[in-house]
Chains A and B, each alone.
Chain A
């Protein structure tokens, strides 16, 4: 059966793969959006944190025998702590300055982290095995879907929904949102705003690390995996709306699917399509599809 000249099988297959990619985009842009929304910093180091999460899982497995499921919990904790350290040690001095300095600092940070990992691990990737419980594939008729990829979609959606819920529907989230809009006022109410900011950056880092562990069995764990992805994730965040949680999730998934679609009809453009959309959105609705202009 053919649709627009392409067999439906191939189309559905690519769309499904697009959904898997989209879940990664969603998770990573979620962390970025949270950090930008609350700290007004474009965290260029996000890709590096994602990479560190994947490596934490790999190192855990190779040297300490720590399995996949434990890494899913441990890596975010470790990287979350690391993130908080970065915020306290480096980022907090920049809040009074032009926001562009935050971008530049995190860019430098990304270079440091990536360079160090490249030195210790080389450029070619390390393989990470799929956990036993998720190995194998399900025959969907139009393609064989590896079970692990289905899990990726499920896990990302769960985490994204949980994060959205916390930020939009709980008291803590309300404090965070208020803290960004008017830190002094919120502080006057007795809420420790700097602590919240630190925790927020740590949380963003933890989200990135979680995505990293999820990614490890799918793509090679390599020091370059972050920088390959970060630019795309920026595009996602910008299209979705720089501070909007729901926006990033929806846009991440959407763009992943669009990318998959493009791969079927016009594969050469699949890498560019996200940026074309980003340029268009920035022209028409600069705050993003779901965002509010600051």
Chain B
């Protein structure tokens, strides 16, 4: 058993046991946002593209799934798939437009496109505008398993999370993933080696968007609503923070980041009010200045390579 496998097993055990010790709804929120962060990291950490509009995918899937569950006679897994597909479709559109540019311009164009999605969601009646899409039922999985029970729902969410993370892990460690890393390291060189760089970037982008969508769709089922917060640029900023704090370019980093940020926000929200934002900002600043490798990155560096 390598050290890595031991860590993964320990993590898995912890996740399986968690709902008995921690409020399940909180854990589920953490898992959804962790998946979101992992999807984002696929793009930033492994392809080198900073997208500042990832909330668009989270939110689009959230609204799609919410709408499906409230208006269409579908079971939750179908709704999830619908949400993911919606996000993937949006990913294709955004990707095709944004891939042509790099660096700052890429970030700015994703921001602009995400803002358009935000205002679209604000105006379109089916989203409920400022009120949001409320009262989304959890339904019965495959028509049999009632998801209203928090414990049942938790294990379903855990399964979704594991599936998504596994997909990302396999992608990173595949030949496709190697090419992505090559692109991140030195794009002109990858191009000169004969790889169709744009196509690789687009595929990575769509994959990242789809998984972000899966996270958003699941979140809607857990919490029962989809609101404008899901498409707001502050949410895009939050996922950047989570990934940065956890460790860009590491496998477990985004998960760690999500846990830290969500738990912090939850515990502090009532006690310190607006200071939460200040603390988030301070973490951002400190991480950028001194801990660019993030929590997991620092640990990996200490204990010598993962």
Contacts and interface: CB of A to CB of B under 8 A. Distances in A.
A272 B115 contact: yes
A286 interface: yes
B188 interface: no
Interface stretch (B11-19, B26-34, B269-277): B269-277
Interface string B103-122: 11101110111011001101
A269 B115 CA distance: 12
Nearest to B101: A286
A283 B109 CA distance: 9
B107 A279 contact: no
Interface residues of B, number: 42
Contacts of A111: 237, 277-278, 280-281, 284
Contact of B108 (A101, A104, A108, A282): A282
B280 A42 contact: no
Interface stretch (A21-29, A113-121, A142-150, A205-213): A113-121
B100 interface: yes
Which one of B101, B108, B275, B289 has the highest number of Cβ atoms from chain A below 10 Å of its Cβ?
A: B108
Interface stretch (A53-61, A92-100, A181-189, A191-199): A92-100
Given A108-B283, A111-B280, A279-B109, A99 B104 contact: yes
Interface in A18-51: 42
Interface in B236-292: 237, 240-241, 244, 273-285, 287-289, 292
Contacts of A118: 274, 277
A235 interface: yes
A103 interface: yes
Interface in A166-205: none
Nearest to B288: A105
B163 interface: no
B104 to A, nearest CB: 6
Nearest to B276: A115
Given A112-B282, A115-B274, A119-B274, A278 B288 contact: no
A119 B119 contact: no
Interface string B76-116: 00000000000000000000010011011101110111011
A42 B111 CA distance: 13
Interface in A222-237: 227, 231, 234-235
B207 to A, nearest CB: 21
Contact of B104 (A42, A97, A109): A42
A250 to B, nearest CB: 19
B279 to A, nearest CB: 8
B123 interface: yes
A107 B281 CA distance: 8
A103 B107 contact: yes
A289 B58 CA distance: 32
The bracket for how many chain A residues form the interface is: 35 or more
Contacts of B113: 275, 279
Interface in A105-146: 105, 107-116, 118-119
A249 interface: no
A282 B120 contact: no
A283 B120 contact: no
Contacts of B289: 90, 93-94, 105
A231 B123 CA distance: 19
A17 interface: no
Output the residue of B119, B120, B285, B288 with the most chain A CB within 10 A.
B288
Contacts of A257: none
B253 to A, nearest CB: 15
Contacts of B237: 107, 111
B123 A268 contact: yes
B244 A104 contact: yes
Contacts of A234: 108, 111
Contacts of A271: 119, 122
Given A99-B103, A103-B104, A112 B285 contact: yes
Given A42-B104, A100-B50, A279-B97, A112 B288 contact: no
| A-B pairs with lowest CB-CB distance, top 3 | A108-B284, A111-B281, A115-B277
8 contacts: A90-B289, A94-B289, A108-B288, A111-B284, A116-B274, A116-B275, A275-B113, A282-B101
